[in-house]
């Protein structure tokens, strides 16, 4: 691997180079924002936009925060130049301790907010130093909103920074530290209209300082339903959930709701879970709730194709890439209607039904399981919606219009 602190030298484009700043980056990094970042960088590069990634040596949010996974230095990942900077070591003098003058004017945030903010952080002082030294060489795209790399990037280069927040309606989204970040950057680039509307409500964000890019979806995957069922020994109809398994994504609620449904309805229906993090499955339902863990990419798309219905219980989505992937593979969806982003998706597309709470979940499940023709029609509508609206080339066009328009 080469090591370099040189600024970008690509002069083949009329556009200033983009530096995408994110805590973690790489094919091993799990998480919606991390996948979005990779595909955005690769799509910009393919479109002739000079782009580099500035990131740390960490792997992702599921790994220990201070643990290096990658070596420091520069390397190409799928034709994109990635510059990795070492994580902060305990006792190390920070970039701002070495340069206290660069903190002049920083707002005095409430201590309780600052304490939680610091708990969430991934810190790299070498990264901050590089941003400062090369502040005139790039336009900086910061993502996602909660992390230190975004906060300090917005502080160091406000007039040259753009924020892709991946914002959720969650308690710490209301902290003044984050409201400050949204108002500090030059423009905020959203994954959906609902995400933009939430930011406007929370932060009084002017309409002129925001744009909706949407998120891109890879259109080339083809799921093999028969192969998936054979490989994993699944003959019964099943609901499928794909994604992070934790309380924030409401997977414990989904497991509980499914078990309640089975007690009330019986039948052969199964719930299949795929994704990172362990799950707690009641022993009495060990044969009916099936945990496949983190699936290879092709297996994931095969699972979508094989599913009877896709279910997304989360209330905190800025776009929901897994919903779009499921629709592309021809499966209708049940989504948490408390999530405005997904509620709008299903109502616009006709690709599924929203539910609020257990009883609506049960009723919607009964209704769709009894109507296979309706499920097929919904799946076709969802697939058409994704193909029409979320191609990466269209996201790149919107990105160029938002970032390079004076």
Query: Whose structure tokens read 């948490």?
Result: 336
| Tens digit of pLDDT at every position of the chain (406 positions) | 344 456 554 545 678 999 999 999 999 888 889 999 999 999 999 999 999 999 999 998 878 877 889 999 999 999 999 999 999 887 788 899 999 999 999 998 888 887 766 666 788 999 999 999 999 999 999 999 999 999 999 999 999 999 999 998 888 899 999 999 999 999 999 999 999 999 999 999 998 999 999 999 999 999 999 999 999 999 999 999 999 898 989 999 999 999 999 999 999 999 999 998 899 999 999 999 999 999 999 999 999 999 999 999 999 998 999 999 999 999 999 999 999 999 999 999 999 999 999 999 999 999 999 999 999 999 999 999 999 999 999 999 999 999 998 6
Tokens at residue 57, please?
Answer: 């040596």
What are the φ and ψ backbone dihedral angles of 175, each rounded to 5 degrees?
A: -70, 145
Long-range contacts of 153-157 (CB under 8 A, 24+ apart): 153/21, 154/181, 154/184, 154/185, 155/106, 155/184, 156/102, 156/128, 156/131, 156/132, 157/131, 157/132
Query: H-helix or E-strand containing 76?
Result: strand 73-77
Q: What is the pLDDT of residues 80-90, one digit of tens each?
A: 999 999 998 87
Look at residue 259 in the predicted model and tell me its pLDDT: 98
* Count of positions (residues) in the chain: 406
18-216+391-403 and 225-389 agree in CATH topology: yes
Residue 358, token pair as written in the block: 């257990």
What is the predicted pLDDT for the residue at 116? Answer: 67
Specify the DSSP element, H or E, that contains 237: none
Question: Among residues 155, 25, 34, 150, which one has the least CA distance to residue 85?
Answer: 25
pTM over 0.85? The answer is yes
Residue 117: per-residue pLDDT: 62
399 is written with which tokens? 């990105």
Q: Residue 363 in 3-state DSSP?
A: helix
Instruction: Label residue 67 exposed, middle or buried (CB < 10 Å: 0-12, 13-18, 19+).
Output: exposed
Neighbouring C-beta atoms of residue 71, cutoff 10 Å:
11
pLDDT in tens, 90-137: 778 889 999 999 999 999 888 888 776 666 678 899 999 999 999 999
**What whole-number distance in Å separates Cα of residue 301 and Cα of residue 306?**
9
User: For position 3, what pLDDT does the model report?
Assistant: 43
Separation between Cα atoms, residue 12 and residue 49, nearest integer Å: 9
What the block records as the tokens of 215 is: 């998120």
> Contact 199/165 with Cβ under 8 angstroms?
yes
- 18-216+391-403 maps to which CATH number? 3.40.50.2000
Architecture of domain 225-389: 3-Layer(aba) Sandwich (3.40)
13 contact partners, CB below 8 Å, separation of at least 6 = 48, 49, 50
For the chain, give every domain's residue range. 18-216+391-403, 225-389
- Per DSSP, helices labelled H in 13-147 are 32-46, 95-98, 111-119, 125-133
């Amino acid at each position: 691997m080469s090591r370099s602190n040189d600024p970008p030298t690509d002069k083949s484009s009329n556009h200033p180079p983009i530096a995408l700043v994110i805590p973690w980056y790489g094919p091993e990094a799990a998480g919606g924002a991390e996948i979005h970042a990779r595909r955005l960088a690769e799509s910009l590069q393919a479109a002739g936009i000079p782009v580099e990634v500035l990131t740390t040596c960490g792997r992702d949010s599921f790994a220990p925060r201070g643990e290096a996974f990658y070596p420091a230095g520069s390397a190409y990942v799928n034709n994109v130049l990635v510059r990795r900077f070492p994580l902060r070591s305990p006792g190390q003098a920070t970039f701002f301790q070495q340069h206290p003058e660069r903190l002049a004017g920083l707002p005095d945030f409430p201590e309780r907010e600052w304490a939680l903010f610091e708990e969430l952080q991934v810190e790299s002082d070498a990264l901050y130093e590089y941003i400062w030294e090369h502040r005139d060489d790039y336009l900086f795209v910061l993502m996602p909103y909660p992390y230190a790399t975004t906060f300090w990037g917005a502080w160091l280069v406000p007039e040259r920074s753009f924020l892709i927040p991946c914002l959720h309606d969650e308690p710490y989204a209301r902290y003044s530290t984050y409201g400050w970040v949204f108002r500090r950057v030059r423009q905020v680039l959203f994954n959906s209209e609902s995400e933009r509307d939430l930011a406007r409500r929370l932060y009084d964000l002017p309409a002129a300082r925001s744009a909706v890019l949407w998120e891109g979806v890879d259109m080339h995957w083809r799921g093999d339903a028969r192969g998936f069922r054979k490989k994993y020994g699944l003959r019964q109809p099943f609901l499928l959930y794909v994604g992070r398994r934790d309380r924030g994504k409401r997977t414990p609620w989904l497991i509980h709701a499914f078990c309640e449904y089975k007690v009330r309805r019986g039948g052969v229906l199964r719930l299949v879970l795929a994704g990172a993090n362990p799950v707690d499955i009641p022993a009495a339902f060990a044969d009916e709730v099936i945990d496949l863990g983190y699936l290879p990419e092709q297996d994931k798309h095969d699972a979508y194709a094989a599913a009877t219905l896709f279910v997304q219980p989360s209330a905190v989505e800025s776009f929901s890439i897994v919903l779009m992937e499921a629709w592309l593979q021809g499966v209708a969806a049940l989504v948490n209607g408390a999530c405005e982003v997904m509620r709008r998706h299903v109502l616009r597309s006709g690709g599924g039904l929203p539910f609020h709470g257990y009883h609506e979940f049960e009723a919607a499940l009964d209704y769709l399981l009894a109507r296979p023709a309706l499920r097929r029609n919904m799946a076709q509508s969802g697939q058409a919606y994704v193909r029409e609206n979320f191609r990466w080339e269209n996201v790149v066009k919107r990105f160029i219009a938002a970032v390079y328009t004076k």
